Chains A and B, each alone.
Chain A
Amino acid sequence: MGIVTPDLGLIFWTSIVFICLLFILTKFVWKPVLGAVNKREQNITEALELAEKTKKEMIVLQASNENLLKEARAERDNILKEAKEISVRLVEDAKTTAKVEAEKVLAGARETINSEKASAIAELKNQVAILSIEIAEKVVRGELSSDTKQKDLAEKLAGDINLN
């Protein structure tokens, strides 16, 4: 049968064409294309891995963030509490100091007033004494302005002494 007898000419041409195809395609197509495909696949794998890694990191980061937040919140509460305490204490202190100061001031004021009063009284006493002397002088001078009166006074004084 003709169709099962291989034809030498066609064997020759097929061999040549197949070998040429093998070389041309391997050099110019299969290697570059497979290289590109492999590279892309590698890129995709790497990108996926990176995404996975980032995701994990994100979770860790989130957890730490939460912790940080919690700590911060606790610290804030602490600070607030302390501040409140301090403020209360400060107010208290201020109050007591103010009271003490006020009392001190009051006491001082009172003392001053008292001393001022005493000195004023003393002054007044002096003034009164001076005035009295002056009055007395004037009175005495009036009493003693005439000889009769000087005689009357002398007589009266003498009368007093005599009586004693």
Chain B
Amino acid sequence: MVLKKPLFQLFPFKTHFISFFLLFINKDSLPLRQNLKTYIRKNSMMNLRNAVKSIVLTCLTVLTFNTSFANNGEKKEEFNVSEMIMHHIGDAHEWHIMGGHHDAVSIPLPVILVDGGLKMFNSSSLYHGKILTATDEAGEEITYIADETNGYAMFHEKIYKLNANGELDFHNGHPTNAKPLDLSITKNTMSLLIGATLLILVMLTVAKYYKKNGSVAPKGLAKFIEPLIVFVRDEIALANIGEHKYKKFTPFLLTIFFFILINNILGLIPVFPGGANLTGNIAVTLVLAVASLFATVFSGNKNYWKHIFATPGVPVPLLIIMIPIEIVGIFTKPFALMIRLFANMTAGHIIILALISIIFINQSAAWGFLSVPMALFISVLEILVAFLQAYLFAMLTSLFISAAVEEHHH
């Protein structure tokens, strides 16, 4: 799991309070405390500058004080940043909300396995299963959770079938047991369903407005959504594909754009129903990229295929090299889309989590003065990225489609 201890144990409350107390008895900040009202009343630039200076100095003092205190304190269990981050950006069979280990608050989700028939059970029986320890040939201890009532075990969020002894067998740190097809409603699947429902609700409200009012100027939600729809239609579909064929692809591009956008934004909300790193999951971006690939390949006209198998103006011997390159090119384009979206969204999540982790690495809330503004800045940047990546995915898809449907020109 994420944290070896509950959050508040890692959080040095005592030193934290001391540091806030220090903020007020610090020599530099004395005038600030005593004469704050007078300062404000006088509104003197000089005094304001002094006040700012004393706050900065106090913060610095507190930071240095605290780290030294923390180092002198009793030996604490290491806070594993990469484990925490990997857990947050990865998928899970439950929706963790807060707390660690035994006092964790989380929403259990249904586990659906295809293992000689469909098997469904609650994921809480997995998470609250028996914690077993195995030793592999290298002599390393590996812990996993076994759910003996259902006959499955979970290791790193992957579900394996237990062997006859009710255990997992490990080889090179990996279980060798059978892995049933896992169609569970995981955290990401749940987020996917929430995002899709939200999208349908929002869009149906918009559609209802036009149905009710006819072609009038939009109001309310429609006023917000319509510019985005028109943007996708005009700046993405029409601008790239051209006015003869763009109508056929606009619904597809709109779906891609809004699907990515709403899931990107949901991913930025730190608590349920957001926070799942859905568009930063390679499986999701893979599906979107395959959709883009299919849209390109199945709409490809004679020119498109001719360009691939008999590139005009290329001598025949060169075609031996060109044809494989062009065929690979069909796949590298959506592959780049897949990686781009995955990497951008995952990176955003990692940066925010890493910045928040500064507090826990240093075990001092005072670092929040540094980490919170930085995380806030990145969060705001991520809102931009959420729109940008949705735009980029739709725009590049429309570019690939346009290359596939383009008529031959001389």
Residues of A within 8 A of B (CB): 2-15, 17-18, 20-22, 24-26, 28-34, 36-37, 39-40, 43
Contact = CB atoms under 8 A, between A and B. Distances in A.
A155 to B, nearest CB: 151
B229 A18 contact: no
Interface in B64-95: 86, 89-91
Q: Please list the 9 inter-chain residue pairs (A to B) with the smallest Cβ-Cβ separation, ordered nearest first.
A: A40-B215, A36-B210, A10-B283, A6-B283, A26-B251, A29-B203, A39-B215, A30-B251, A14-B287
Given A2-B86, A7-B91, A33-B210, A25 B254 contact: yes
B319 interface: no
Contacts, number: 122
26 contacts: A3-B282, A3-B346, A5-B282, A6-B283, A8-B183, A9-B183, A9-B184, A10-B189, A10-B281, A10-B283, A13-B189, A15-B287, A17-B192, A20-B196, A26-B255, A28-B207, A31-B251, A33-B203, A33-B226, A33-B229, A34-B229, A34-B233, A34-B250, A36-B210, A40-B215, A43-B215
Contacts of A13: 183, 185, 189, 192-193
Contact of A10 (B91, B230, B250): B91
B252 interface: yes
A29 B259 contact: no
Contact of B200 (A25, A30, A33, A37): A25
Contacts of B188: 10
Given A2-B156, A15-B287, A28-B207, 9 more contacts: A7-B283, A9-B183, A9-B184, A13-B185, A13-B193, A14-B283, A17-B192, A22-B255, A33-B210
- Residue with the greatest number of chain A CB neighbours at <10 A, chosen from B182, B184, B251, B342: B251
A15 B291 CA distance: 9
Nearest to B217: A40
B283 A18 contact: no
B255 A25 contact: yes
B286 interface: yes
B204 interface: yes
Nearest to B183: A9
A28 B286 CA distance: 26
B282 A4 contact: yes
Nearest to A15: B287
Contacts of A25: 199-200, 203, 251, 254-255, 258
B284 interface: yes
Contacts of B86: 2-3
B215 A22 contact: no
Contacts of A32: 207, 210-211
Contacts of A36: 210, 214-215
B207 A29 contact: yes
Given A8-B182, A37-B230, A29 B206 contact: yes
B65 to A, nearest CB: 38
Contacts of B229: 30, 33-34, 37
Interface in B161-212: 181-186, 188-189, 192-193, 196, 199-200, 203-204, 206-207, 210-211
A6 B282 contact: yes
B126 to A, nearest CB: 14
A40 B342 CA distance: 38
Nearest to B210: A36
B93 to A, nearest CB: 10
B288 interface: yes
A64 to B, nearest CB: 37
- Residue with the greatest number of chain A CB neighbours at <10 A, chosen from B91, B183, B210, B281: B210
A79 B230 CA distance: 65
Interface in B274-314: 281-284, 286-288, 291
A34 B254 CA distance: 11
B216 interface: yes
Contact of B216 (A4, A31, A40): A40
B286 A11 contact: yes
Contacts of A33: 203, 206-207, 210, 226, 229
A18 B291 contact: yes
Contacts of B287: 11, 14-15, 18
A17 B262 CA distance: 14
Contacts of A10: 91, 186, 188-189, 192, 281, 283-284
Contact of B183 (A12, A18, A26): A12
Interface string B243-267: 0000000111011001100000000
Contacts of B346: 3
A4 B280 CA distance: 10
Contact of B181 (A8, A18, A21, A30): A8
Nearest to B157: A2
A30 B91 CA distance: 32
Contacts of B251: 22, 25-26, 30-31
A21 B215 contact: no
Interface string B207-244: 10011001111000000001001100100000000000
